[in-house]
Every structure is written in structure tokens, then in C-alpha cells.
Amino acid sequence: MLELTDLHAFYGKSHVLHGVSLRVGPGEVVSLLGRNGVGRSTTVKAVMGQVSATGSVRFKGQEVLGLKAHEIARRGVGYVPEDRAIFQDLTVRENLLLGEKRRRAPARWTTERIWELFPQLGCRAETPAGVLSGGEQQMLTLARTLMGDPELVLVDEPTEGLAPRVVAQVGAFLTEIAKSGVAILLVEQKLAIALQISERLYVMGHGRVVFEGTPSDLRANDAIRSEWLSV
Ligand SMILES: Nc1ncnc2c1ncn2[C@@H]1O[C@H](COP(=O)(O)OP(=O)(O)OP(=O)(O)O)[C@@H](O)[C@H]1O
Ligand SMILES: [Mg+2]
């Protein structure tokens, strides 16, 4: 589905990614872990054409490196960036409907289906989105991305700043999304949630992938956890 090969990325003269290779299969949940500043967000931004990069980014077998962000989105890649960009003054429903851009018939995601999956949003459909809690706003940005009918979503730290109970809710929501057949590349810093919902994980350090494996591989690897993940 998504395959990055030898990806290098640059902010001006600053060389931030040094040959990242990773893949996400159809319907798979894969996490990208690592400490602050290692290049996780840059990796997903490079996939979305938002950073200057070299190497290869293939989506469904086709090279997408060099395409504009909206072209990549139109091919079926959804992106939920770090900042929760919801429209505070629009209602929850209006925010969701803004996500409808690449509709197939019949639409896989409808507002009704979102309300079913996440009743907390449904009962606030007509409420201005600005009054939602941080966790609800995060669900809303995820839900809005689904309305664009992606086959893969890149989700950058959806649990940042959320209370543990809410982190678990976001995790459950991501699992539901994956069950519906949408692949997920989850950028995380919280190991527990990543281990819980991922089929495979990558750990990054200094702009490189330093570990790739299953949750049980990572649980068993104390050296990687202490060198690249613990604070
Ligand atoms: N717009 C930018 N201009 C210059 N350097 C940047 C820019 N954005 C990020 N960087 C640098 O690139 C490196 C990787 O940043 P990135 O945002 O990918 O990190 P990250 O792994 O997502 O961590 P976190 O989200 O915790 O900051 C960091 O050293 C960061 O300072
Ligand atoms: Mg980041």
C-alpha cells in the first residue's frame, strides 16, 4: 500500500531524514515511534509532499514523491497533522462535511456511520466544534479525514496532551477505523498505545529507522526501548 525507500528530507540546508525505508500493507496498523525531534513528523510530511525530499514514496505501486499534497490526498491518503485544525465556530457536523472531497459511490463513510462509531460526536452534531474537549476534537479531525474516503491515514500524535482514559478512546477509535479496512500509519510517542493497536512498529532515531518488528519483538527488546524510547 505505502512503501518508502531511502527517503531523505531537508529543511533548507538542514538534512533531517537520512534514508528512511518503511512500508504499510493494506488494512495494516503500523506505528512510527521515537523521541522528540527524530523525524517522525517529517516522514509523514514527506509522504504528503510537504517537505523537500529525495528517494521513493510509492502508494499502491505508484511513485507519489514530487506530487502536490492535494493530488496525494486524492489518490487515497488521508493526513491528520499534529495540530488539531478544526473550525471552532462551525458545528461538529459542518466540520465533518468539510472532509468530503474524494467521494466514491456508495460512500463508505457517512455522518451516520461516524455517529454510530463515536456517539459522543453524534450527540454534539449541532454544537460548535470549539466547545469539544481535546479528545473529542482529535476524534473529529480523524472522522473528518475519513469523510474523504482514504485507504490509508497518516495520523500524527493523536494522543498528545490527552488524559489516559481519552488516549484509550482514541486507540479504540483507531482500531475501529482499521477494522473497516483503512490502513493506518500512526506517529506516536506513547509506547503502550502503539504496542496495543499496531501489527508492526518502527522506531526512529536521528532521522533513521533503528528498529522494525512486531509488538512482541519490541517488548522483548530492552536495548532498543531504553536507547531510543525511554525518557
Ligand atoms: N520547519 C522546519 N524547519 C527547520 N527544521 C525543522 C522544521 N521542522 C522540523 N525541523 C527539525 O527537523 C527535525 C525533525 O523534526 P520532526 O518534526 O520530524 O520531529 P518529530 O520526530 O516529529 O518530533 P516532535 O513531533 O516531538 O517534534 C528536528 O530536529 C526539528 O527541529
Ligand atoms: Mg512530530
- Cα of 197 from ligand 2 centre, angstroms: 19
Specify the pLDDT at position 4: 98
pLDDT band at 102 (very low <50, low <70, confident <90, very high): low
State the chain's mean pLDDT as an integer.
93
pLDDT band at 84 (very low <50, low <70, confident <90, very high): confident
Pairing mode, strands 183-187 and 152-156: parallel
- Cα of 43 from ligand 1 centre, angstroms: 10
pTM: 0.94
Nearest CA to ligand 1 atom 26: 36
Specify the pLDDT at position 103: 59
Q: Which ligand is located closest to the Cα atom of residue 33?
A: 1
CATH number at residue 50: 3.40.50.300
Q: From the CB of 40, is ligand 1 less than 6 Å away?
A: yes
- Decide if pLDDT at 129 tops 90: yes
Q: What percent of the chain has pLDDT over 90?
A: 84
Specify the pLDDT at position 83: 83
Q: From the CB of 203, is ligand 1 less than 6 Å away?
A: no
- Decide if pLDDT at 106 tops 80: no
**Which of 161-170, 194-203, 212-221 comes out lowest in average pLDDT?**
161-170
pLDDT tens digit sequence for 26-59:
999 999 999 999 999 999 999 999 999 999 999 9
Bridge partners of residue 36, in order along the sequence = none
- Cα of 90 from ligand 1 centre, angstroms: 31
pLDDT tens digit sequence for 180-212:
999 999 999 999 999 999 999 999 999 999 999
Q: Which of 22, 31, 41 to mutate to test the pocket of ligand 1 (most atoms within 8 A of CB)?
A: 41
Q: From the CB of 42, is ligand 1 less than 6 Å away?
A: yes
- Decide if pLDDT at 105 tops 70: no
Q: Which ligand is located closest to the Cα atom of residue 7?
A: 1
Specify the pLDDT at position 231: 64
Range of the domain at 59: 2-228
Specify the pLDDT at position 104: 62
Q: How many domains does the chain have?
A: 1
Number of Cβ within 10 Å of residue 180's Cβ equals: 12
Could you give the CA distance from residue 41 to residue 63 in angstroms, rounded to a whole number?
A: 20
Closest ligand 1 atom to 38 CA? 21
